[in-house]
Amino acid sequence: MSRQLALLIFALAGGMALIGQLLVLRDLFAGQTPAANTSLASRARETLWIVIPAIALVVLLIATYRALPAGTASMTPVAATAGD
């Protein structure tokens, strides 16, 4: 698999995850979440349950991007090189 293909797959998967998380955050700030009309403690707890995974998602996407191989030579499948 080439680096370009790996980056394309990463960008598509990461983009979809980010879009989904942004939609959840939009609902949170628009007051359209289940705890929107309840107590302050419930809203704070729900906000944490939404913001913490959003931060974790960004950290994981950055770590995954940095872990992608630098070039095509390092992406050679093991089975293709272990023949002899």
Structure confidence at residue 76 (pLDDT):
52
For the residues 29-44, what does the mean pLDDT come to? 80
- pLDDT-derived band at 59 (thresholds 50, 70, 90) equals very high
pTM, two decimal places: 0.65
DSSP state of 49: H
- Rounded Cα gap, residues 23 and 57, in angstroms: 14
In the predicted structure, residue 19 carries a pLDDT above the cut 60: yes
- Rounded Cα gap, residues 60 and 40, in angstroms: 30
Buried b (16+ CB within 10 A) or exposed e, 7-29: eeeeeeebeeeeeebeeeeeebe
